Structure 1
Amino acid sequence: MAKGRSAVSKSFAHKKGREPVQHVSGLSSSKSGAKRKNETVKFGSLSRKQKNDLKEYGSLIPQDFQDEEEDDNAGGEEGEPSLKRPRRVVYEEDLDREMEEEQIQFESEEEEKSDNDDDEETWEKPSAYSQLVGSLQKTSKNQTFYARIKREQEGIEDEVSDEDDDEGEEEYDENDMTLDNDGENEEDEEDEEILEEGDGEGIADMEEEQDQIMIGVESSDEEGERDEDSYARHFADDQPKEFDEKISLIEDRKWVPQSFEDDVLKDVVSYTPVPDKTIKESKPVTDLVKSKVRGRLAKLWRKANEDQLNSVDESQIFTPLQERLFQQFNEYRDVLYCNRNLDNANEIRNAYILHALNHIHKNRDRIMRNTNKITKAQADHVDVGEIRDQGFTRPKVLIVVPFRNSVVDIVDMMIKLSGSEQQENKKRFYDEYRLREQENVDDTKPADFLATFKGNIDDHFRLAIKFTRKSMKFYSDYYAADMVIASPLGLRMMIGAEGDKKQDFDFLSSIELIIFDQANNFLMQNWEHVEHVFQFLNRIPLDTHGCDISRIKSWYLDKKAQYLRQTLMFTDFLTPEFNAIFNKHFKNVAGKLKIKQKTEDGSIVDVIPQVQQTFTRVDTTSLAAMDDTRFKYFIEKTLPGLRKSAIMQSHTLIFIPSYFDFVRIRNYFEDNMYSYEPLSEYTSPKGITRARGQFFHGRTSFLLYTERVHFFRRLNIRGTFHVVFYGLPDHPQFYNEIVNFLGLKFNEASAAEEATFSCTALFSKYDHLKLERIVGTERAQKMCTAQKNVFMFA
């Protein structure tokens, strides 16, 4: 300490020549003001607070100035000049001698201190880095982490007694984190929710740090084989030279179409930027590992999918439909599948869940492998070059479904397939997404209604799920999650609209796989929500959210992520809305497929009453003018025909697909004093009962009935003599169900009344997709192109 003091004095004196310099005094103790500034103070004699100040700031809080003020004011009476304590002045020739003396004194003190006081500590002025680390250790939330690192550096091991271990295990078991609990814990699940701070693509928890060491155990694939994986090719940072060329072709809509038939998929039309013959190839999948499925998923797949497989053939991995679809999924092509039904719904769900989990595991493995590589290179002082393997945010998979009951089915399959040993917040999830008491089910309802509306049918929800090596965490923070499952309404409420003060859509910036299941049900909710979600996918985020910019893939920064994003959409039938999404937002450079039925038989064959059904084509100049032309034809031609006689006017049900058309016709009936009852999706239960009663007893002549109210309630309207379809329904089964309303009165009606039953439907050439699902493909083509406008079926 003295040596350092003399060295400073010598250096300062050398700069000033032989000018006298002020001697730098030693560290002054704050314990007593009587000690002089030039006295040597031992570090061990300082208090704990002073030692902490030295370690953190590099100096004590100076109190010399206060002592000097006291000395300045001492020694004289009032009015007499004060006596100042003289400064010690030394010259350059004295500095060398002083340095040698103090060096000898310093060494002797060190020897005496080591002999007599082993606990005495020495102090050296900390560097700026040491001061920064010390400040972080005091202010950081990870104080336990720094303490553990310090103990490891000092060679001290943590001693944990067996009793503490037992207590920790008991506490762990109580938190409903294992499969054995089955969500029956009575603890308050709100305490279990831990929203961790997102760090972009970084791994936030200690378990994921351990995963970096265990990464070799996760998959049975070799390092060289990973490079041949379709995932590695499709999402590589270094895209081939033709990548930009394909984007230009896609933007110019210069797709190369190919049509082919498949025994399982039926009619398939593929679109690729450049000709691709491999899209037609369908090699059987005999080994999931060879198909680049992660080892754990491949091991658990057959057991998780056993309900869909043939129990006799143990070598079977997929059903024929799953095999065809997974081949396209695994090549990261976009798929619009329009042949979903009650029989294959579970097959499709299991297939895309396998693909989604496989994608998450591959992405996670790559990041951890590269993180280990970077860490090792930094330890060895080796430059590994530029590594870009991340996006702006962590979520990579988005699954959109209409109701909460669908989320339960998805999560159940994920738990089986992931093999996770624990699920955080599992009980809370089932409490919120399942009904506590199952309501009475009306078995008389159609099968599709019972399957769609079983359980919880709330359509406003969002669920973020985080996957680690051994666990799944529900209700994770969105920016620390790997997957988000939500409804269109739930996403819309979170995203907000342009100009809203509160908008949050950055978690959609790095979505690489988006799945729409039961998409036909979105038409009965609000299709604009789906279009709104597409507008905010793969945007540049407004905030960094802690991401490592140096590891973000180049095509993310270049706003080209939408050309690599895979979109999967599953629906029961094809509509113009799905075609618009397919043409506008399916821009995958790997290609896209539209899969539908080759021919439709039509639901008209399921009509029970023997009634004449008249289809009238309304010709129009354009699609934009279709609504006005249809309304004009209805009020000028169809409605007057119904009012010609009292028999035709009474007990007439008018089916209206669109709510906007419903409001238009309702206002017209109101202005012209028609006897009618409105029945829409917004009608209260009391209003529905009143409208059905008035119509059944003939107190009102017309009943306005929308497609949505039939979708959500599947009512049977008794007392119907005449049915008028203002427009054809999207769901083909709705046509025969509504015409069968006539049969409800048929059993009680007289022969005279039976002869008065009628059914009239309006359509245009733009309703071709709807028409072929009702009357069949061949009939629909003739009806849209024939010269006559009226077609009758008996």
Structure 2
Amino acid sequence: MLLCISITKKSLKFFQSVYKSDFLIVSPVGLRTLLEKRRGKRKRNQSSDNSDSDSDDGTNNDDGSSSIADFLSSIESVYIDQLDVLSMQNLDHLFYILENLNCIPEQATSSTDFSRIRHWSLNGWARYYRQLIVLTSFTSPLFLSLFHRFSTNYAGQCLIQPTFPLNGFIRPLSTFNQLFQRIPVCDPTLRFNYFIEHILPRFDTSTYDHTLIYLSSYFDFVRLKNYMRTEKHKQFNYLTLSEYSTKKQILLARNIFYHREVRFLLMTERFHFYHRYRIKGIRHILFYDLPSYGHFYPEIAQFLTLPHVVDKKKTIPTAQIDEPSTCTALYAKEDALKLAYILGQTSVTDLLNSEKNTHLFTNK
């Protein structure tokens, strides 16, 4: 999406050329697609003396300049709304756009008014005068890294964080026990190796049939799925649900998981973000890592209270089964922000400072 707006004394004009607009309302993927299109056109123009103008996107200047992102050179204020929602898509597009802001144009056009060009802009200092405003419903190390990297205004930075709830989202969940286990690694590769060596074998028993494994990263999801599907580990009986699953695949996986003996159900965070299905038949939950959204934890954990099939003739709630349900969450010290949303600031301090690696929250 690319919406160009210009302001006059009496009206707003929409769908203007980017060179005549005052505001740009864009989606990261839409703007990057446009920049890549201009990059491809530039390569074609370099092989010929004449450059063709493309009037469809309204971004070409009067002289057919081959500059890729010259219309982003004069950006003075950037407003990123709902960064958390953008993270559920692909933040690489957003990083690409921010890296191309306030670059000095390679060529001047006939419509360029040099009397309006500031000296600090010619010196390449435009980024130090640019304002960056970011809004998000939660904080993460990745978001903080983005803000500190691209918020380069000479006046400094201002970070406003809401206070964490004292008790978090764990207190209302009183129907089953919840175990938080600290792991000594945070790197994705080291976490995966630790998981398959120490955690997964413990759940690969008949006692833990119908276990939901929740993964916040799609890359971890693919890595774990590929590990289970190899010939060496073909004994794993599992199903998958991801943001790329079709409606037919989702319906089939939910039906099989509910009516048959399946050991694991792998589910990504983006799948829950986009669909919010209430998965029935879950007896145990294992959080590979903590959810990005704090309220996702109780939403997923409440799946244990839904009914599931014990045999073909009788369906009873999970809470009434002799074998108790379990909810296990893995965390590292670097997950302090995620823990604060789930457990509350008081409990997080106790967990991180404790010498114990496991902490059990009971229903009593």
Report how far residue 562 of structure 1 moved: 0.7
CA displacement, residues 224-267 of structure 1 (integer Å, 9 cap, x when unaligned): xxxxxxxxxxxxxxxxxxxxxxxxxxxxxxxxxxxxxxxxxxxx
SS of residue matched to 2:306 = helix
Bigger radius of gyration among the two = 1
Judged with a 3 Å threshold, the aligned counterparts in structure 2 of structure 1 residues 551 and 706 are, in CA distance, closer, same or farther, namely same
Aligned residue number for residue 495 of structure 1? 35
Aligned CA distance change for structure 1 residues 494 and 733 (closer, same or farther; 3 Å) = same
Q: Is the 8 A contact 1:720 1:741 kept in 2?
A: yes
Q: 1:619 to 1:643 in 2, by over 3 A?
A: same
Q: Displacement, 1:771? A: 1.0
1:720 to 282, 298, 315: 282
The CA deviation at 1:550 is: 3.0
How high is the sequence identity, in percent, across the aligned residues?
39
2:193 and 2:336 mapped to 1: Cα distance?
21
Pairing of 1:578-593 with structure 2 (within 5 A): 578-593=143-158
| Residues in 2 aligned to 1:691 and 1:750: alpha-carbon distance in whole angstroms | 19
For normalisation by structure 2, the TM-score amounts to 0.85
Cross-structure match for 1:666: 225
- Give the aligned partner of residue 90 of structure 2: 526
Equivalent residue for 1:515? 79
Shift of 1:727: 0.6
Q: 1:733 to 1:465 in 2, by over 3 A?
A: same
> Does the Cα contact within 8 Å between 1:494 and 1:505 map onto a contact in 2?
no
Q: Would you say 1:506 and 2:65 are equivalent positions?
A: no
Structure 1 residue 788, shift from structure 2 partner: 1.4
SS in structure 1 at match of 2:104 = coil
Match of 1:654 in 2: 213
4+ residue runs of structure 1 moved beyond 4 angstroms?
A: 497-503
The CA distance in 2 between the partners of 1:793 and 1:656, in whole Å, is: 22
Instruction: Assess, with a 3 A threshold, how the Cα gap between structure 1 residues 782 and 498 changes in structure 2: closer, same or farther.
Output: farther
Task: Note closer, same or farther for the CA distance 1:670–1:560 as it changes in structure 2 (3 Å cut).
Answer: same
Per the alignment, residue 396 of structure 1 pairs with none
Q: Deviations over 1:292-341 (max 9, x none)?
A: xxxxxxxxxxxxxxxxxxxxxxxxxxxxxxxxxxxxxxxxxxxxxxxxxx
The letter of the residue matching 1:664 is R
Cα offset for 1:642? 1.3
**Aligned amino acid, residue 647 of structure 1:** T
Instruction: Check 1:721–1:487 CA distance in 2 against 1; reply closer, same or farther (3 A cut).
Output: same
Matched, 1:762 2:327: no
AA matched with 1:522: L
Is 1:687 the counterpart of 2:246? The answer is no
The CA RMSD over aligned residues, in Å, is 1.9
Q: Identify the residue that residue 105 of structure 2 maps to in structure 1.
A: 541
Q: Is the 8 A contact 1:618 1:629 kept in 2?
A: no
Partner letter of residue 125 of structure 2? K
How much does 1:500 deviate? 4.4
- DSSP 3-state at the match of 2:328: strand
Q: Hey, what does 1:467 align to over in structure 2? A: 7
In the alignment of these two chains, the number of paired residues is 327
C-alpha distance after superposition, 1:146-201 (max 9, x if no partner): xxxxxxxxxxxxxxxxxxxxxxxxxxxxxxxxxxxxxxxxxxxxxxxxxxxxxxxx
Q: 2:60 aligns to what?
A: none
Residue-by-residue CA offset, 1:183-223 (whole Å, 9 max, x unaligned) = xxxxxxxxxxxxxxxxxxxxxxxxxxxxxxxxxxxxxxxxx
Cα deviation per residue 1:483-535 (whole Å; 9 max; x = unaligned)?
00011111211222997445732111001011011111011011111111110
Q: Give, in angstroms, the shift of residue 542 of structure 1.
A: 2.7
Is 1:565 the equivalent of 2:130? yes
Counterparts of 1:68-83 in structure 2, within 5 Å, are none
Q: Measure the CA separation in 2 of the matches of 1:651 and 1:750.
A: 11
For 1:496 and 1:481, locate their aligned partners in 2 and report how far apart those are by CA, in whole Å: 21
Partner residue in 1 for 2:192? 631
Mapped to 2, the partners of 1:497 and 1:572 lie a distance apart of 33
Instruction: Please say if residues 290 and 331 of structure 2, whose CA atoms lie closer than 8 Å, have aligned partners that are also in contact.
Output: yes
Distance 1:606 1:544, change over 3 A: farther
Secondary structure at 1:537's aligned position in 2? Answer: coil
CA gap of 1:479–1:750, structure 2 versus 1, over 3 A, is closer
Counterpart residue type for residue 95 of structure 2? E
SS at match of 1:591: coil
Instruction: Report deviation, 1:785.
Output: 2.9
Contact 1:509 1:540 in 2 (8 A): yes
User: Comparing both structures, which one devotes a greater share of its residues to strand?
Assistant: 2
Structure 2 vs 1, CA of residues 618 and 751 (structure 1 numbering), >3 Å: closer, same or farther? closer
Q: Does 1:744 align with 2:306?
A: yes
Q: Could you tell me which of 555, 559, 563 is aligned with 2:120?
A: 555
User: Using the alignment, how far apart are the partners of 1:498 and 1:486 within structure 2?
Assistant: 16
Amino acid at match of 2:13: K
Letter in 1 for 2:345: T
Paired residue secondary structure (1:496):
helix
Aligned pair partner of 1:612 in 160, 169, 177: 177
Aligned twin of 1:780:
348
Superposed CA offset, 1:55-88 (max 9, x none): xxxxxxxxxxxxxxxxxxxxxxxxxxxxxxxxxx
Structure 1 counterpart of 2:274, one-letter code: F
Matched, 1:733 2:298: no
CA deviations 1:442-501 (Å, max 9, x no partner) are xxxxxxxxxxxxxxxxxxx11001111112111111111110001111121122299744
CA distance in structure 1 between the aligned counterparts of 2:319 and 2:100, rounded to whole angstroms: 60
The within-5 A match list for 1:93-172 is none
Structure 1 residue 575: deviation in Å?
0.8
Structure 2 SS opposite 1:596: coil
In the alignment, the residues of structure 2 paired with residue 727 and residue 743 of structure 1 have an alpha-carbon distance, to the nearest angstrom, of 21
Question: Separation in 2 of the partners of 1:765 and 1:730?
Answer: 15
- 2:199, 2:268 → 1: CA distance? 18
3-state SS in 2 of match to 1:598? coil
Selected match of 2:272 from 668, 685, 710: 710
Residues 494 and 504, structure 1, Cα contact 8 Å, conserved in 2: no
Deviation at 1:577, TM superposition (A): 1.4
Q: Calculate the TM-score normalised by the size of structure 1.
A: 0.40
Deviation at 1:647, TM superposition (A): 2.9
| C-alpha contact 2:319 2:325 (8 A) present in aligned 1 | no
Q: Which residue of 2 aligns with 1:575?
A: 140
Q: In the aligned structure 1, how far is the partner of 2:158 from the partner of 2:248?
A: 47
2:295 is paired with a residue whose SS is helix
Whether contact under 8 Å (2:305, 2:318) holds in the other structure is no
Cα gap change, 1:583 to 1:754, in 2 (>3 Å): farther
| One-letter amino acid of the counterpart of residue 225, structure 2 | R
Change (3 A) 1:477 1:498: closer
Q: Which has the higher contact order (CA 8 A, sep 6+)?
A: 2
Q: Which runs of 5+ in 1 are unaligned?
A: 1-460
Residue 603 in structure 1 maps to residue 152 in structure 2: no
> Which residue does 2:26 correspond to in 1?
486
Q: Deviations over 1:657-699 (max 9, x none)?
A: 0010000000111111111111100111111111111111124
Match of 1:463, SS? strand
Inter-CA distance 567–713: structure 2 relative to 1 (3 Å threshold): same
Partner amino acid for 1:527? L
